[in-house]
Amino acid sequence: MPENPGLAVKLYHWMRTVSETGLTTFETFVGCMEVLIKNSFEYHIDHYRNARFDKFEVFLAISLGHYKAEREDILLTSISYNQVLTFFKELFNMFNAGIADEHSNSIVPKLLATSVFRYGQNSICWRDFVLFIRLNFPYIDNIIRAYFTNRFINKSVPIHLPVVSETPSVLNTELLSLFCLTNSSFQNLPQLHLVYSTAKYGKNFNNLAASLKTYDGPTLLLIKHSEVTGGNTPRSRANKNTYVCGGFTKAPWKDGQHQTGSWETVVFSLTPRFRLCTPRPDGNQNFAFLNTKHGSKIGLGFGGGSNDGNYKLWIDENITSGSYTNEDDGTFAKGALVEPSVTKLNIEQIEVWGLSGESNFLKRFRRAEGDENKIIRKTAPPLRSSPGKDSFVESKIMPEEPHQQKGFLLERTFSMQNYGSNQQRQNSVLLKQSTQTYAPLYERVSSVQK
């Protein structure tokens, strides 16, 4: 177990303690593996069968060094911050099966350990910690069972994370491990596909909405928010704090004034503290909302209502200045997604990942983008330098503000004057080709030409 050397030593001591002879025999090994892999009523070790320990509770007892304590004694156990941190590190190292990396999986375990304890608290009782795990990580037993099966019984049993289709800017392996522990849709998921990213397509709400409307499947939305504190005096230094929050919905997004989503829709805070906000049983059923053309409220939201302006998480059509979050919205469990004092979101990045194959929007975008590049090369003045990812986002080809988004990449091309007749005919042919792959694009460009 190169990914978990400390846990390997604990397992050895646990097996010796369980053994009647004090030796790690084959029979002892088989009995201990049953406790970590099978259901509790199938255990051959009487102590664990009678105590009805679940996989998670057995693993926690091993991590704490309580190798054969009675259940009554376990319930009175006080767990320190360092013990909780070690437990989370050993848990997240399971996703690196066979990989020795002492620096891996350190950030998220620290965030989770911090989230377990209230401010000023330095220990937690066994019962409260078990309750925290059960509420937030319902699939922890599946991961533990798969891990020990893979390491000791059958290596063909998978214990790996989904592959991402493109390099992420917000998502990382630790956060992905967290979703595998909290969400049923991530169980045995082979791949995640990028649906939208501000790093790649700019802070453009029309692009975000189009990507969601054309994706038929569950989506994971991640937001990176930054908050600058201090720096008000010459002697004070400004500090920039980064937060990651977002939402997940299993139902496809629909454009309009009616709420979408389901009871499986959740919003969450990942950093600096982990918080999972599920729908309230007695709350509103305003799970998710997307509107691009109906009424006066244009944007994307989780929770709240379509007209009350009290969403749990809101991305406005003006992403940079109109987005916000609320601690209490009436649909999801109470709790701040960033700091309690912060309501206005200063969004740096947005990423949307799809769980059901590649986005149709991106397929069309790539094909249309190829035709657009042909037109731009023929008509637009040469750029000073070849635009990379960052310069492309900042260029005038894709404006950030909604009132500038008249032509969506082609505004510069078709707003130019003094076309020659031959040039116009060539552009017309190319534009018709682009229309076959992306009709909405053609409609917006046509409106600009008129």
pLDDT at 284: 83
257 inside domain? yes
Closest by CA position to 271, among listed 297, 251, 243: 243
Whether the predicted pLDDT of 90 surpasses 90 = yes
- Tallying the residues shown for the chain, one arrives at 450
Same domain, 225 and 240: yes
DSSP SS3 for 382: coil
pLDDT at 359: 64
Q: What is the mean pLDDT of residues 412-417?
A: 34
Q: Which residue has the higher pLDDT, 421 or 264?
A: 264
**Number of compact structural domains in the chain:** 3
Same domain, 110 and 15: yes
Q: Which of 10-19, 157-166, 207-216 has the lowest mean pLDDT?
A: 157-166
pLDDT at 449: 38
Whether the predicted pLDDT of 420 surpasses 80 = no
pLDDT at 438: 40
157 inside domain? no
Same domain, 415 and 377: yes
313 inside domain? yes
Domain that holds residue 143: 5-152
Same domain, 60 and 27: yes
Same domain, 440 and 391: yes
pLDDT at 433: 44
What is the Cα Rg of the chain in Å? Answer: 26
Whether the predicted pLDDT of 21 surpasses 90 = no
pLDDT at 308: 61
Same domain, 206 and 225: yes
Sole residue written with tokens 């679940």: 54
Position 330 confidence tier, pLDDT thresholds 50, 70, 90: confident
- Could you tell me the pTM of the whole model? 0.73
Same domain, 329 and 435: no
Same domain, 199 and 337: yes
Q: What is the mean pLDDT of residues 359-369?
A: 57
Same domain, 143 and 209: no
pLDDT at 257: 75
Rounded to a whole number of angstroms, the distance between the first and last alpha carbons of the chain is 67
Q: Which of residues 134, 152, 170 is at a domain's end?
A: 152
Give the whole-angstrom CA distance, residue 76 versus residue 61.
Answer: 13
Same domain, 247 and 382: no
Q: Which residue has the higher pLDDT, 298 or 157?
A: 298
Same domain, 224 and 346: yes
Same domain, 231 and 310: yes
